[in-house]
């Protein structure tokens, strides 16, 4: 596997976070200014105007290469929602990362987060990690070529793909990787990974005037937090990792695990649909006896509904919705139990041939899925325009963080495994990782994260999480020596702070506010039963 050799200095940095006698980017002060004015807020449409007007923006400067602090620098964009409680009860800053990679923390904080107690006690702070949004966001390559190449083999069992069939996939992935290198340079791609985001986070902590960090990281943000605990354990007050990611596997292997998790959450949705919806189209269907490589009866019925939309697409917000688009919406709906009623409504109306019902429920499902994520993705552009593209950062960070195989057949084998696990969701998530086979050398992040010197850490996991499988979270909690695991027995991608589980919110709020660690083995009941 390729890795960037940066010599003995990097070994010191990995062990201690930054050179022990040289921290030239510490000592900064953030110059905060209002993020929004009244005119911008009015144009926001539906946004919480009072919340937006409270937001303050600023930047900190970090080195592109923390081992070469006199070289190129980056400005990291910050946003702050000042605490709204009494000053004497103020506990400092709580830094939040919403996940990704590729998601803007600055945009994520444009909606209120957490409950009243947390917002009263903490300044909420978020940031765009390097390579994202206003912190050097970029676009590169032709992602549509990757999609087209993937679609060209969509009807073929991955195990049956030979060299000729794999060549278009390899060519598209190689072309994308080369275009990214040409667009932003090998030096930038080598240092866009999470190990440098963790180093940036310590610069942010210092610039906020905090001796010790309070941090909540969701999904990819939990990876940032775990690395920070490994590198800067002495600089932590409270650390919450919701939806921790696996670190000891390639991107292709991780994608296989995620396909299995999506299938598991889909089956939880099916059970809920059958229990709660009188006309659920999956009532009486076997949901799991098909065995590896074979769709269950419920999946077969779902395939029929998708084919119906392929023949006669519906429309929502002026956009045609065929089977592939609906399946994307299904995957996004599995991220949040609150969207399940609308998903069940769409599928039931489809099965009944109720066109008006399909359009009505589809509009609501769109708001819950594509509509919700449109704001976070609003910086995305057409390839080659020079503007940011969340997909570019997603690929660049994932490829930078992990050691990946360089042979396309390894991805084919992983895709075959994914197709066996879930004929419905299939091998697509594995093919999405193929550019990593051709990525330039990067500084890989450490993976054996035990952080024995860190103060108590809280790890939150959801049994039916489709994106960060529960076993990843459980393993992270076991590996981090000071961690306590809180389990939410429902479904969806991350749970703390969204109001879905008062049990989870109460336990984590108490930890952040008082330092009280949740009792070991705490489990919280699902919102959807």
Give the residue from 160, 94, 152 showing the smallest Cα distance to 121. 94
Distance CA 114, CA 119 (A): 7
Residue with tokens 């539906």: 46
Residues 45, 49, 51, 57, CA torsion sign: positive
Please tell me which residue in 299, 465, 505, 509 is annotated as part of the active site: 465
For helices 163-184 and 143-152, the axis angle rounded to 10 degrees is: 170
Instruction: Specify whether the CB–CB gap between 411 and 252 falls below 8 A.
Output: yes
DSSP label at 436? G
Beta pairing class for 92-97 and 73-81 = unpaired
Cβ-based neighbours of 163, under 8 Å, separated by 6 or more: none
Compute the C-alpha angle 481/483/485, nearest 5°: 135
Beta bridge partners of 217: 97, 241
The first and second tokens of residue 433, run together, are 């990782």
Lookup result for tokens 């107690």: 117
- List of residues 6+ apart from 168 with CB closer than 8 A: 149, 152, 153
Q: Among residues 276, 326, 322, 280, which one has the least CA distance to residue 529? A: 276
> Active site includes 111?
no
Pairing of strands 92-97, 213-218: parallel
Q: For residue 82, give the nearest of 92, 97, 69 by alpha carbon.
A: 92
Choose the catalytic residue: 104, 126, 219, 422: 219
The strand pairing partners of 486, in sequence order, are 460
DSSP E strands in 273-428: the ranges are: 314-316, 319-321
Strand stretches in 68-121, DSSP E? 73-81, 92-97
Separation of CA 155 from chain center? 28
Rounded Cα distance, 180 and 93, in Å: 35
**Catalytic, out of 493, 501, 505, 509:** 493
Tokens describing residue 99: 């996940």
Tokens (6 digits) for 234: 């002495």
What's the maximum distance between 2 C-alpha atoms anywhere in the chain?
70
| Residue 397 near residue 154, CB atoms below 8 Å | no
Does 465 participate in catalysis according to the annotation? yes
User: Residue 409 and residue 523: Cα distance in Å, rounded?
Assistant: 41
CB contact set of 217 (below 8 Å; sequence gap of 6+):
96, 97, 99, 223, 224, 225, 226, 239, 240, 241, 242
Known catalytic residues?
A: 219, 465, 493
């Amino acid at each position: 596997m390729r890795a960037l050799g940066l010599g003995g200095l990097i070994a010191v940095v990995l062990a201690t976070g930054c050179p022990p006698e040289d921290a030239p980017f510490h000592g900064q002060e953030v110059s905060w200014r209002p993020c929004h004015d009244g005119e911008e807020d009015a144009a926001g449409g539906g946004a919480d105007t009072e919340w937006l007007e409270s937001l303050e923006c600023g930047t900190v400067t970090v080195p592109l290469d923390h081992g070469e602090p006199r070289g190129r620098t980056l400005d990291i964009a910050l946003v702050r929602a000042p605490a709204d409680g009494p000053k004497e009860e103020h506990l400092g800053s709580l830094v939040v990362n919403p996940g990704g990679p590729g998601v803007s923390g600055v945009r994520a904080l444009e909606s209120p987060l957490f409950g009243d107690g947390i917002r009263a006690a903490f300044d909420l702070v978020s940031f765009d990690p390097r390579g994202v949004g206003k912190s050097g966001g970029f676009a590169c390559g032709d992602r549509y070529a990757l999609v087209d190449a993937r679609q060209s083999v969509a009807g073929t069992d991955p195990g049956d793909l030979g060299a000729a069939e794999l060549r278009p996939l390899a060519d598209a992935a190689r072309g994308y990787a080369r275009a990214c290198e040409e667009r932003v340079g090998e030096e930038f791609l080598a240092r866009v990974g999470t190990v440098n985001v963790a180093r940036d986070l310590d610069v942010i902590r210092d610039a906020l005037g905090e001796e010790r960090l309070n941090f909540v990281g969701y999904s990819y943000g939990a990876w940032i937090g775990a690395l920070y605990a490994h590198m800067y354990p002495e600089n932590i007050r409270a650390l919450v990792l919701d939806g921790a990611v696996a670190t000891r596997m390639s991107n292709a292997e991780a994608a296989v695990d995620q396909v299995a998790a999506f299938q598991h959450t889909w089956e939880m949705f099916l059970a809920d649909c059958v229990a709660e919806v009188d006309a659920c189209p999956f009532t009486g269907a076997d949901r799991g006896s098909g065995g590896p490589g074979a769709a269950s009866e419920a999946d077969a019925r779902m395939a029929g509904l998708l084919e119906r939309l392929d023949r006669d697409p519906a429309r929502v917000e002026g956009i045609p919705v065929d089977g592939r688009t609906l399946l994307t919406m299904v995957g996004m709906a599995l991220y949040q139990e609150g969207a399940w009623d609308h998903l069940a409504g769409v599928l039931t109306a489809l099965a009944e041939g109720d066109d008006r019902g399909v359009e009505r429920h589809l509009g609501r499902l769109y708001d819950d899925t594509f509509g919700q994520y449109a704001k976070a993705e609003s910086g995305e552009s057409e390839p080659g325009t020079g503007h940011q593209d969340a997909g570019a950062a997603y690929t660049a960070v994932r490829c930078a963080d992990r050691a990946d195989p360089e042979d396309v057949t390894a991805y084919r084998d992983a895709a075959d495994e994914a197709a066996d696990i879930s004929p419905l969701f299939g091998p697509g998530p594995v093919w999405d990782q193929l550019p990593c086979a051709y990525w330039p050398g990067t500084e890989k992040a450490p993976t054996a994260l035990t952080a024995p010197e860190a103060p108590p850490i809280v790890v939150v996991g959801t049994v039916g999480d489709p994106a960060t499988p529960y076993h990843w979270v459980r393993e992270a909690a076991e590996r981090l020596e000071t961690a306590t695991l809180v389990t939410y027995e429902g479904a969806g991608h991350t749970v703390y702070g969204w109001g879905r589980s008062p049990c989870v919110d109460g336990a984590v709020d108490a930890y952040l506010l008082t330092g009280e660690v949740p009792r070991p083995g705490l489990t919280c009941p699902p919102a959807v039963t």
